[in-house]
Chain A
Amino acid sequence: MNTHESAIASVPPVRQPARGRKKRGLTQKIGFAALAACMAANIFFLGAIIFFIGLKGLGAINWAFLTQAPRDAMTAGGVAPAIVGTLYLTLGAIMFALPLGVASAVYLTEYSPKGWIVNLLRVSVNNLAGVPSVVFGLFGLTVFVKYMGFGVSIISGSLTLGILALPVIISASQEALVAVPQSIREASLALGATQWETIRKVVLPAALPGILTGVILSVGRVAGETAPILFTAAAFYVKGYPDSPFSEVMALPYHIYALMTEGTHPEEQTRIAYGSSLILLALVLSVSMIAIFIRQRQRKTYHA
C-alpha cells in the first residue's frame, strides 16, 4: 500500500492548479448557457409570432371569413378571393418550375460531364436563389407583363414566382438524385437499359420522395411571397373570382400588405389583416411541416 502511494507521489502528475480547473468549468457552464439561450430565442420568436397572430387572428376568422368576398370597402366580409388567388398563383408557379427544375437537376446529376459547365450552372442556380425577391418582380414586370404582353395577370405572376421557386426545386431534386446509390444505376445499365430508361424507371422513382419534399417546400415559399407579385399579378380588390389566366387576382400576402397601407378604416382593416395573416401562416407552416415530416420518414426508411 505504502510503496504504491510513494511511487505515485514520486511522479507528480501534470495537472492544472485547482483554481484554474474550477474557472475552466465555470467558463464552460456560462458558454453553454449562452448557447442554450440562443437556441431558446428561436423558439421564443416562433412562439411569439404564432401566439400573437393566432390570438387576434382567430377572433377574425369564421366560416364567412373563409368563404365570402370582401364587402363595405374592405371593412367586412371575407378573404375567399385572396385565398383562391394565392392557390392559382402557387399552382401556376409549380406547374412551370417543377418540370424545369427536375429536368435541370437530372441534367446536373445524371448527364452533365464534370467540368466548367456544371460549375457554371451550379453557380447560376445558387445565385438565382440569392436574388432579392423584388428584383424578380421587376424582371417579371419587364418581361412577362410588358414585353410578352400578358399584362398584370395570374400568368405573369405565376411565371415570376416560378423562377423564384426554380432554385429551391433544383437543389432539393439534386440532393435527392445524388442520394440514389450509384450501384442501382449500374445494375440497370448492365441489364441493357439505356441511360434514359435508367433515369425514368429507376433513378427518378427512387428520388421521388426527396423531390416531393423540395416541391412542397417551394409551395410554402411561393405562397407567402409578396414582392414578386406586387407589379405582376396582384390587385387590392377584384370583383368576383378570376376567370382566365390573364385576369388580375387578389392574393393573401398582398391583401395583408394592402390592408395595412391603403384604405381608410385602419381599425377594421387591421382586424381582417390579422385573420388573413393567420390563414397564410397556417397554410405555409402546415405545408412546411408536411415536407419536414416526409423527409424524416424517408430518412428512416433509408436507414432501415
Chain B
Amino acid sequence: MHDTMVDYEKQMGLENFHPSLVKGPVGINMNSLGEADLFGSEPKIDARGVNFYYGSKKALNNINLGFLPRRVTAIIGPSGCGKSTFIRLLNRMHELVPGTRLEGEILLDGLDITGPACDAAELRKRVGMVFQKPNPFPKTIFENVAYGLEVNGVTDKELIRGKVIDSLKKAALWGEVKDRLKDSALGLSGGQQQRLCIARCLAVEPEVILFDEPCASLDPISTGKIEELILELKKEYTIIIVTHNMQQAARVSDRTAFFLMGELIEEGRTERIFKAPRDKRTEDYITGRFG
C-alpha cells in the first residue's frame, strides 16, 4: 500500500515536471487544465494512478480522474473501454468478481477507500449505485425503498415511512405509486422500476450516486424522466453517469470523461469536450468515426 503511494508521488513529481512523460492523460485532480469550473472546489472523489486487472488482463491503465461535488460527470466511450469497470471501483462493487486486482488510490473526501481499513458496506452507504437494468427486489414498493434504511439499523417506523415517502417524491415516483405501496415492485413498468431503484438509493442518503447506463433498457419517454431527475438531483449529490449515448451525456452532464481501451483519453467541461476535443481520438468518437 505504502509502496504504491510512493510510486504515485514519484509519478506526480514526474508529471509535474515532464508532462510529456506521463502515459495517462490528466484529470482535474491535477488541476492543471485551467477550466473555470474547478477553481474553488476539491474533488469529492479522486482516482489516482488507478490500474485494474481481471486475472492477468489489464482492464484499466493509469486512470487519474476526479469528480466535483454537485456536478454531473458523464463517462463516455465505446463498449469494452472500461467505463463500467471504472465506476464499479468507486463503491468497490468490483470485489464481487473474484480474481481482480486494483492498484492506485481512490480518495473519497481525501480518504483512501481501496484499502482494508475502509469497510465496503459503509462505503456503499455513502456512494450509492443505480444499475443498467432496473433491479428491484421481489418485495413490495414500500419494502424496496425501506430496505436500505432497515439494513442501516433504522427501526423507527414513522421515520422509515417519512423517508420512504420523501425518497419516492425526490425520485418523481410518488404520484404514480402512492396508492399501491403494498403492491409488488415487479408489477411496475421498466421506467418506474428504475425510478424506484433511484428512490431506494436516495433513501440511504448517499453523498455520491453512480449511474451505470441507467437508461440502457428504457424507452425514450422513461429516459427523459430519468434525465430530468438527474438534473434535479445534482443540486444535492455528486453524480457520475456512465453512458454510451453521447446525446445523453451532452444533455445531463457538466463534465465529460472519454475512455478508450482502458485509458482515460480526455476529461473536461462537457461543452468543451463536445465542441473542441483536444485529442484526435475523442473527436473521432464524438463525430461517430468509430465505436
Give A residues with C-beta under 8 Å from B.
113-114, 181, 183-194, 197, 201-202, 205-206
Given contacts A191-B200, A192-B151, A202-B137, contact A186 B124 (CB under 8 A): no
CA distance A191 to B136 in the complex (A): 12
CA distance A96 to B152 in the complex (A): 33
| B147 touching A191, Cβ below 8 Å | yes
| B93 touching A189, Cβ below 8 Å | yes
Task: Tell me which residues across on chain A come within 8 A of B121, comparing CB atoms.
Answer: 189, 192-194
| B137 touching A193, Cβ below 8 Å | no
Given contacts A189-B93, A190-B201, A192-B122, contact A181 B135 (CB under 8 A): yes
Our pick among A113, A114, A190, A201 for the contact of B129 (Cβ within 8 Å) is: A190
| A197 touching B135, Cβ below 8 Å | no
Interface size on B, residues (CB 8 A): 28
| B98 touching A187, Cβ below 8 Å | no
Our pick among B135, B136, B139 for the contact of A186 (Cβ within 8 Å) is: B135
Q: Does B66 contact A (CB under 8 A)?
A: no
Given contacts A186-B135, A187-B197, A191-B200, contact A114 B98 (CB under 8 A): yes
Give B residues with C-beta under 8 Å from A.
91, 93, 96, 98, 120-125, 128-129, 131, 133, 135-139, 147-148, 150-152, 197, 200-201, 204
Our pick among A188, A190, A194 for the contact of B128 (Cβ within 8 Å) is: A190
Task: Tell me which residues across on chain A come within 8 A of B120, comparing CB atoms.
Answer: 189
A209 vs chain B, min Cβ distance (A) = 10
- CB closest chain-A residue, reference B148: A191
B247 vs chain A, min Cβ distance (A) = 26
| A186 touching B137, Cβ below 8 Å | no
CA distance A197 to B204 in the complex (A): 15
CA distance A186 to B120 in the complex (A): 13
Task: Tell me which residues across on chain A come within 8 A of B122, comparing CB atoms.
Answer: 192
| B128 touching A191, Cβ below 8 Å | yes
B24 vs chain A, min Cβ distance (A) = 28
Our pick among A181, A185, A192 for the contact of B125 (Cβ within 8 Å) is: A192
The 4 closest A-B pairs by CB, nearest first: A192-B125, A183-B135, A191-B148, A190-B129
CA distance A187 to B128 in the complex (A): 9
- CB closest chain-B residue, reference A113: B98
B218 vs chain A, min Cβ distance (A) = 15
CA distance A294 to B120 in the complex (A): 38
Q: Can you report 15 A-B residue pairs in the complex whose CB atoms are below 8 A from each other?
A: A184-B135, A186-B135, A187-B136, A188-B147, A189-B96, A190-B91, A190-B131, A191-B201, A192-B204, A193-B121, A193-B147, A193-B148, A194-B151, A201-B151, A206-B138
Given contacts A113-B98, A114-B98, contact A191 B151 (CB under 8 A): yes
